[in-house]
Structure 1
Amino acid sequence: MTAIEQRAAEQFRRDTAKHELTVLHDDGLHRHLRVAEPGSGHLWFELVTWPGGLTIRGDMGCYIFSCAKDMFDFFRRSAWGGGPNLHYWAQKADAGDIHAGVREYSADLLRKHIEDDLAALAEDDLAERLRVRAEKLGTTSDRLPAGAAAGCRAASAAYMAGLREELDDDLLGELPMWCIDDEGDALAGVRQFDYRPDGEPPFTFDADEWKVRDWSGPYVWCCHAILFGIGAYDRVKAEQPVPALSAAATADAEALAHV
C-alpha cells in the first residue's frame, strides 16, 4: 500500500465515522443510494446504478464505472482482501473526476526516485574510489590499509554532501529554484540538475523511466466509499423481513407438501 493509499484509507474512515445510508430508489439493478452524516451535507456521496454501470458522486468527486450487468455484484466479487482493487477498477473507469482523475502527480514518488538514485550513487562512488586507490597501491579494495580506506570514505562523503547541498538549492530545500509540488516544474528541475564538482565525476539524473503518478486521493476515497455504500446496502437488505405469503399461497404450499 502506497503512502497515498494509506492516507486516503485512514481519511475515509475518519470522514465517514457517522455516515448513514438512505435508499432513495431500489428497483432491481436500478438503485440510488445516498450516504451522509445525518443533519450534515459534509462529505456526502451517492451511488447510482443501472444495468452495466455505476456512478459515484459527491463532495470527493465523480467517477463512472462500467463492466458487469450488476455493478454491486462486480465490486463485491472483485474487492481485494476486503478493500478496493484499485488497479482493476481503474481499468473499468469510463470517466474520472475533472479535478483529480484516477491518477495524479506525487511529489513523494519523485522524492523516492531521487533518494534511490542517491543511495545507489553513494554505494557506487565509494566502491569506485576504493578500487582506484587499491589499484594504485597494487592491492585489492578489501585489503586497503585502514588510513587509505578512511580517506576514500571521507572523499566520497564530501562528494555526496556537496551533491545534496546543490540538490537542496535546486529542488529539495526550503526555498528551491524548482517547485517539487508541481509536476512540470519538478521534472524540469530533475532533468536539468547537473552536479560537476572540480576534479570529481559529474552526476545527472536519468528520469526518463521514473513513475511519478500515483492514485489520486479522491479516487482511492471514492473506491472505499463504493464498498462502504454496498456494505451498508447489503446490511439493510439482510435486515428486511421476508414478505409473508398470502393465505392462498400458504394453502397451496401446504397442499403440495401432502402430495
Structure 2
Amino acid sequence: MTAEQRSAERFARETADHEMTVLHDDGLYRHLVFADPDGGFFRFDLITWPHNLFIRGDGFSFGFSVYPTDDMFGLFRGSSHGGINPGYWQEKVTAGKVWDWSEEKFRTWLVVEVASAESRHPGLVEAVGEQILHSDEHSTEYAETARHAVASFSHRDYRLRLPDEWELSFDDYSWEFLFACHAIVWGIARYDAQCTAGAVEVVECRPEGSFFEPDMAEDGPDGDAIVACTADDGRPVAVRLNPADRARLGSQCAPNGLLAAALIDASRPSGECGHRNAEWSCVLSPGHGGGRHSDIHGNWWTGGAA
C-alpha cells in the first residue's frame, strides 16, 4: 500500500463523522469548518480569498496561492482527477511542511543495497536485519536515528554508507501534506454538494426598494413557501418565505424590508454556488414543485454580497 493510499484510509477513518459548517460564503471569500459535532480531533477549516486557499487543521496548516487564478476551489476541482494530485499541488504551497523523512523509502533502499552485496559479503543481510531492521537498539523512524543506526553498523570489512542527498533522497510527502490534500478535495466536494442541494441557511435580506409579483408558490421544507417570481428586469428568481412571513404577506412575493426572504437568480448556470452578483445577496433551500418551479429548480444559484 502506498503512502497516498494509507493517507486516504486514515483520512476517511478520522473524518467519518465530520459535518460542514459555513461561517462565511461571499463569492471568493469563504470560511468552511469541518468537524465532528460530538468533538474529537482532526477538525479543519478551509478559508479562501482571491488567488489563495488556506487549510488550518489539528496538527497541520498549509497555504496555497496561484496567480492569476481567482478561485482556488476551481483549481483543485480541475486538477484532482478523481483523487489527489500532490505532485502538482505542492508547487502551489506557500506555507506548510510538504516533505518529510520516509522510513519506508529508507528501509526499501537498505534491503536492496545489502542484497546486492550479499554474495561478496556472506551474512550481510542477516547482520543488517539484526542490527538495524529488527533491532531493539536502533530505530529507522526518523532520519537522525536511521543515520545513527547506519553509522553503528558493523559486519567484517563491509562499510555501510548512506548515499548523499544529491544521489538519493529519502524524503517523501509528509503525512500532513497528504492529509491536507485529501481534506481539501473532500471539503470542496461537500461544499459543492450542499450548493447543488441548496441546503444553505438564509444569510442576508434582499436589497431595499425591490418588489416582486408571484407567479407560483409551492410548499418547501419546514413549511416554507418557495415562490417563483419575475424580477423588475425580467429575470426569473425564487423567494423563500417562512410560515410566519407567508401568513403575514399573503400574495406579496418579497416586499421591502423582509429579512426572511431569500432570493435566487435562477438564470445562473447550476453549480455556481457563491458567485458574486451586483444586485442580490441571498441563499435558498429549495422545496419540491412542478410546472415553472421545476424549470427553475435545476439552476439554483447562491449569490454573494455586492
Question: TM-score normalized by structure 2?
Answer: 0.61
Structure 2 residues without counterparts, runs of 5 or longer: 200-225, 237-306
Q: Which structure's residues are more often helix, by fraction?
A: 1
1:104 to 100, 105, 113: 100
Aligned to 1:118: 114
Q: Percent identity?
A: 37
Aligned to 1:71: 72
Instruction: Determine if contact 1:60/1:222 at 8 Å carries over to the other structure.
Output: no
Instruction: Determine if contact 2:55/2:62 at 8 Å carries over to the other structure.
Output: yes
Alpha-carbon deviations, 1:9-45, whole Å to 9, x = none?
1011111222111111111100010111223243211
2:140 to 180, 187, 212: 180
Corresponding residue SS for 1:248:
coil
Q: Which has the larger radius of gyration?
A: 1
Instruction: Determine if contact 1:55/1:64 at 8 Å carries over to the other structure.
Output: yes
Distance in 1 separating the partners of 2:134 and 2:64: 41
1:194 Cα offset (Å): 5.3
Aligned to 2:187: 229
Question: TM-score normalized by structure 1?
Answer: 0.71
Against the structure 1 CA distance between its residues 38 and 233, is the aligned structure 2 distance closer, same or farther, given a 3 Å change threshold?
Answer: same
Instruction: Determine if contact 2:65/2:93 at 8 Å carries over to the other structure.
Output: yes
Against the structure 1 CA distance between its residues 15 and 30, is the aligned structure 2 distance closer, same or farther, given a 3 Å change threshold?
Answer: same
Q: Which structure's residues are more often strand, by fraction?
A: 2
Map 1:1-259 to 2 at 5 A: 3-67=2-66, 68-79=69-80, 81-96=81-96, 101-122=97-118, 125=119, 159-160=121-122, 162-176=123-137, 178-190=138-150, 193=153, 195-196=155-156, 202-205=158-161, 207-208=163-164, 209-240=167-198, 244-250=228-234
Alpha-carbon deviations, 1:71-123, whole Å to 9, x = none?
000100111x3111101111100000xxxx1111111111000111123334x
How many residues of Structure 1 are paired with residues of Structure 2 in the alignment?
Answer: 207
Corresponding residue SS for 1:195:
coil
1:60 Cα offset (Å): 3.8
In structure 2, what residue type is equivalent to 1:8? S
Against the structure 1 CA distance between its residues 47 and 244, is the aligned structure 2 distance closer, same or farther, given a 3 Å change threshold?
Answer: farther
